[in-house]
Amino acid sequence: MADLASWAQEARDDQWWQEAEPQKVIDIIESVCEGQLDPDDAAGEIQATYESLILANPKAATVIWAILFRAVASIGRDQDASQRLVDLVLALQKTGEMFNQSGSPVKLNGQVVWSELPEFSYMFRTYCLSISHPDDCDGDWTEEAAPTLVNATTFGALYLNQTSDPKHMSFFASTGLIDGLEKSWPDVEMHRQAPVYLDAATIWINQGGAAIYRLCHDRFPRTAAVGTLEKGCKWLWTGGQGFSPARWDFWKQRLDACAANQDFDLELRAKVEQAKKKMEAIEEEAK
């Protein structure tokens, strides 16, 4: 993988990761992505490499997330590599708790290392979803934003579909679906931002749809604000915050409308149609 080799070299050259421990983690993650190291074995190696550092300062765990999410930001669209990284995160979580000398679980910002994946969500957003506003972008915004969202969403959706605890990723799933399906865009942005966010929404459904359906069925709450609107945009969903069966149905209706919208190119409309069929298949399987 050319992108993987590029990521690994950039990570090894990073001035903040020159110590032996982060360099070892870079090697481990590269081997996992290449399929040369089992994620369970990799999790054990990472834990052993960083145990003393985390016991001395739990914030050291964030270095591991930074390295891993830099990889996601570079190669996340590769589903095989993303799946291996998801397996690595789940394996780290399964290693359970770390205990300090007094016998208490080691915590970072109130969350237990590793069972509660402290700072996982924050670091995912920081390293994988930092997208500039189109007006602040020096180059082609689409060329910058589209790969970023595809990489992050592919990993995020695969993770959401496999985790037993949706709290870390459900926020990003709902945000992705809001941006992709719950806004009406003015004409100029219909051809710039709308396709990028719609594409990401289809990935959430196609890769994480089963988990999203469960969240909707269980009416999983989402208390965060829905976000801000671009000038000229309007909210299309007015049914309240949180996941719900009604919102699931609304997303399916929006996919149907987008699939017929000739402002989008044929490739994107095909992805939208695939997402709609995925929702229908999930509903059928749930009966």
Among candidates 98, 35, 36, which has minimal Cα distance to 64? 98
Instruction: Name the percent of the chain lying above pLDDT 90.
Output: 83
Instruction: Name the percent of the chain lying above pLDDT 70.
Output: 97
Q: What is the model's pLDDT at position 2? A: 63
Split at pLDDT 50, 70, 90, the class of 192 is: confident
Residues 189, 195, 197, CA angle at the centre, nearest 5°? 95
Residues in the chain: 287
Q: How many CB atoms neighbour CB 179 within 10 A?
A: 19
Q: What is the model's pLDDT at position 69? A: 97
Q: What is the model's pLDDT at position 1? A: 59
19-34, pLDDT tens digit by residue? Answer: 999 999 999 999 999 9
110-130, pLDDT tens digit by residue? Answer: 999 999 999 999 999 999 998
List of residues 6+ apart from 191 with CB closer than 8 A: 263
Among candidates 61, 142, 147, 69, which has minimal Cα distance to 106? 61
C-alpha distance from residue 84 to each of 14, 21, 241 (Å):
23, 21, 33
Q: What is the model's pLDDT at position 134? A: 85
Tokens of 51: 């145990």
> Is residue 149 a contact partner of residue 200, using CB atoms and an 8 Å limit?
yes
158-185, pLDDT tens digit by residue? Answer: 999 999 999 899 999 999 999 999 998 8
Q: Which amino acid is at 220?
A: F
Lowest mean pLDDT among 153-162, 226-235, 260-269: 226-235
Lowest mean pLDDT among 1-10, 24-33, 61-70: 1-10
List of residues 6+ apart from 56 with CB closer than 8 A: none
Q: d(Cα 118, Cα 103) in Å, to the nearest integer? A: 19
Q: What is the model's pLDDT at position 131? A: 87
Q: d(Cα 12, Cα 79) in Å, to the nearest integer? A: 24
Among candidates 164, 8, 14, which has minimal Cα distance to 81? 8
pLDDT at 216 over 90: yes
